[in-house]
Structure 1
Amino acid sequence: MEKTLIDEKNTEVRGYEDYIRSKGEVRDGVSTENAAAVVPSEVIGEVFDLKRSKYNLAQYATVKTVSNGQGTYPVSTNQEAILATKEEMAEIVDIDADMFANVDYKVETRAGKIALSNEVVEDSEVNIVQEVKDQLTKLVDNTDNKHIIDLLKDFPKQTVATLDDLKEVNNVMLDPALDKTVILNQSGFNHLDTLKNSDGRYLLQPDVTAPSGKSLFGLPVALVSDKLLANPKAGTYPMIVGDIAQSVFVARRNQVTTQWEKFDFYSQGLAAIIRNDYEKIDEEASVYVEFTPNDGEAVE
């Protein structure tokens, strides 16, 4: 039985490879939707496997596969609910707290180009499915990152000028029960990474569990590019502090379709279509910070 399932998967992937090499002419073994080829689930499973991605902010968010184009998804958010004392033979009472946030989503269609040269298509030695997978992964990563950052920048904004102000965001503005992460761009990371305390120790400390290998005030730091999270102005560094999983909901329709197209006179390839949505969960779970450090501030 297991061998039969493996053979079916391999047949599906081989059929998709034939579809690409024939530039959309051969469709044997390929599932279609609205004349577009459905990318095999084996390929899509790896594209959407966030553990494999080194640079996709969706790995910190709450990502759910949805079967409908729109709807409501309950996401657990409550950090303070307690279990009520129950007397023998008494009914179990309702917990006096909202345990879930009902997130309304409506997936949108998003398209991108996977460019393939004639040489790549016609060379049988090239693993063309892997080439498509690599390009599709980049498209998904870039799409996730842009929409998640845009959403996080719309959370409550706090302007800070000192490291004490920055500590207050973590210590006071955000619930201590949150599983917090700090997202920095390159400029902000570089600035904080050059600061030392009175003992000569750098402010950013080594942390093998953090995505960037560093932590700030004990919080793991994730590093993104200046292009993705741009400085609002010279000398001001943006950052997000908070629980991204409790802040951002990603509704994912895992079916991806592609269609062979000629993009212009010189290029051709696959037009890839994905469907997803990005929504806020809890407005109090993250803070968007703009840090404009005072000149010559000493680090304690």
Structure 2
Amino acid sequence: MKVSEIEARLSSLKAQKASKVKEVRALAMADDSDTTDVQKGVASVDDLQKQIDDLQARLDAVKKAQGLSDDKPDDAEPTDKKGNNNMQIDPNKKQETTEVRDFIHYLKTAEKRANGVTTTEAGVVIPKEILDIQKVPTDVRNLSAVINRVSVTSGMGTLPVLQKNTARLTTAEERAENPEIANAVLKGVDYKALTYRGALPLSMEMVQDAPNLKTLLNTYVQEAKELTEQYQIGKILQTATAVSANTTDDLKTAFNKGLANYDRQWIVTESFYNAVDLLKDANGRYLLQDSIASASGKSLFGSNVLIVADDVLGVDGDAKAFVGDPKAFVLEAMRSDVAVEWDHNENFERILAVALRADFKAADTNAGKFITYGVPAGK
């Protein structure tokens, strides 16, 4: 199997796992759920993870084999014929820094070398060579790809946000009659980076034996970051102006009025999507239309539809939706330092704890509405 084929299969498995995790989490939270079904769901997640781990190991082995050298190991210092380390280093070959080596040493031994690792109150900071937390989201199914993400260098501060401009140009005569011209409103949004923590289910023994520790850590933290962002962004979207809708006309009114100056789109729960997917207009046409530009493949009243799990915007079974401009409405202040720390679990085993620092705020609160949809009886 080629590297590209392995990577494609790996990507598909990860997507399946993410979808299954959401399904099992929702099942576990449901009041009428069967514990047997939950156990089967967890087993399915574990099986997918095993497939991912096996495939990742194969991919790592192939890539390592492709990079093997005939005369020296990859991490050897370049030397001349006499064995002196004075040969010119290939500028195109990525060199592992002291910070990275000492960080890996910490992961395998829990020993913090005084000058080799950076620490904060949250733990040991992951070097940027291993993890780039500021990578622009590319998966348009994630909410982090449709909001305003700003990298900040301090734990707290104020970010300026330009509100939607309502000023109009006037003639000289109009200015003479009314010299007070509306100015663009620059709003300051205060942020304070909070620490979100999670536990990486790896023991120190597993870390010591991991074939590609950097890839493993990067994958886990990126997935944890995406899930953290998804639910925190969902909380902010729920603060938009509340609207109740029981009919198609109610939905149209919410979409049509008050948002004309914004780039409108729909962010909907699965239950909302299912309810609206059954609706037809007066001519018998379904409200949801096909759209190749939308992540879901559908549009509603001409605007793209993005579907999230019910519990991102409420609880299981909620038919909820945000309509408006999420990029104008939500501001994420993201700190680039992500830390790890060895901790003990309930079994007194050493597990790796991960901490992310970010804050999520409503910026332009006029940029959206939060709809609760409920179909009246008999409809």
TM-score greater than 0.5 by the shorter chain: yes
Return closer, same or farther for 1:241/1:34 CA change in 2, 3 Å cut-off.
closer
Structure 2 Cα separation of the partners of residues 227 and 265 of structure 1 = 31
Q: How does 1:82-161 map to 2 (within 5 A)?
A: 82=168, 96-117=182-203, 120-125=206-211, 127-161=212-246
**CA deviation profile, 1:142-164 (whole Å, cap 9, x unmatched):** 22122211121122101111111
Structure 1 residues 38 and 151: alpha-carbon distance in aligned structure 2, compared to 1, 3 A threshold: same
State the match for 1:162 in structure 2.
247
Aligned letter for 1:167?
K
Structure 2: distance between partners of 1:16 and 1:4: 23
CA distance in 1, matches of 2:126, 2:116: 8
Of the three residues 291, 295, 300, the one matched with 2:373 is: 291
The whole-number CA distance in structure 2 between the counterparts of 1:19 and 1:195 is: 57
Equivalent in the alignment of 1:212: 296
Pick aligned residue for 1:69 from 151, 155, 177: 155
4+ residue segments displaced more than 6 Å? none
Q: What are the equivalent positions in structure 2 for 1:199-278 lying under 5 Å apart?
A: 201-231=285-315, 237-265=319-347, 267-278=349-360
Bigger fraction of residues in helix:
2
Greater share of strand = 1
Q: 1:203 to 1:11 in 2, by over 3 A?
A: farther
What amino acid is the match of 1:72? T
The gaps in structure 1 that reach 5 residues or longer are: 87-92
Would the alpha carbon gap of residues 53 and 266 (structure 1) be closer, same or farther in structure 2, given more than 3 Å must change? farther
Post-superposition offset of 1:44: 3.1
Query: Distance between the aligned counterparts of 2:336 and 2:165, measured in 1?
Result: 30
Considering only CA atoms, is the larger Rg found in Structure 1 or Structure 2?
A: 2
RMSD, matched Cα: 3.1
Distance 2:127 2:237 in 1: 32
Q: Could you say what secondary structure the match of 1:179 adopts?
A: coil
The structural deviation recorded for 1:122 is 3.2
SS of 1:44 mapped into structure 2: coil
What does the per-residue CA deviation read over 1:90-113, in whole Å, with 9 as the maximum and x for residues that have no partner? xxx996322422111122222221
> Structure 1's 28 and 255: CA in aligned 2 closer, same or farther, altered over 3 A?
same
Moved more, 75-84 or 282-291: 75-84
**Where do 5+ consecutive residues of structure 2 fail to align?**
1-87, 173-178
Are the counterparts in 1 of residues 235 and 312 from structure 2 also a CA contact under 8 Å? no
Residues 242-279 of structure 1: CA deviation (Å, up to 9, x unaligned): 11111111111111111122223264332222221111
Distance 2:235 2:89 in 1: 44
Aligned to 1:43: 130
Identity %: 29
Q: Give the Cα–Cα distance (whole angstroms) in 1 for the partners of residues 139 and 215 of structure 2.
A: 15
**Within 2, Cα distance between the matches of 1:293 and 1:136?**
40
Cα distance in 2, alignment partners of residues 95 and 17 from structure 1:
59
Q: Secondary structure at the match of 1:141?
A: helix
Distance 1:208 1:284 in 2: 28
- List per-residue Cα deviations over 1:17-46 (Å, max 9, x = no partner): 3432x142364984221483211113332x
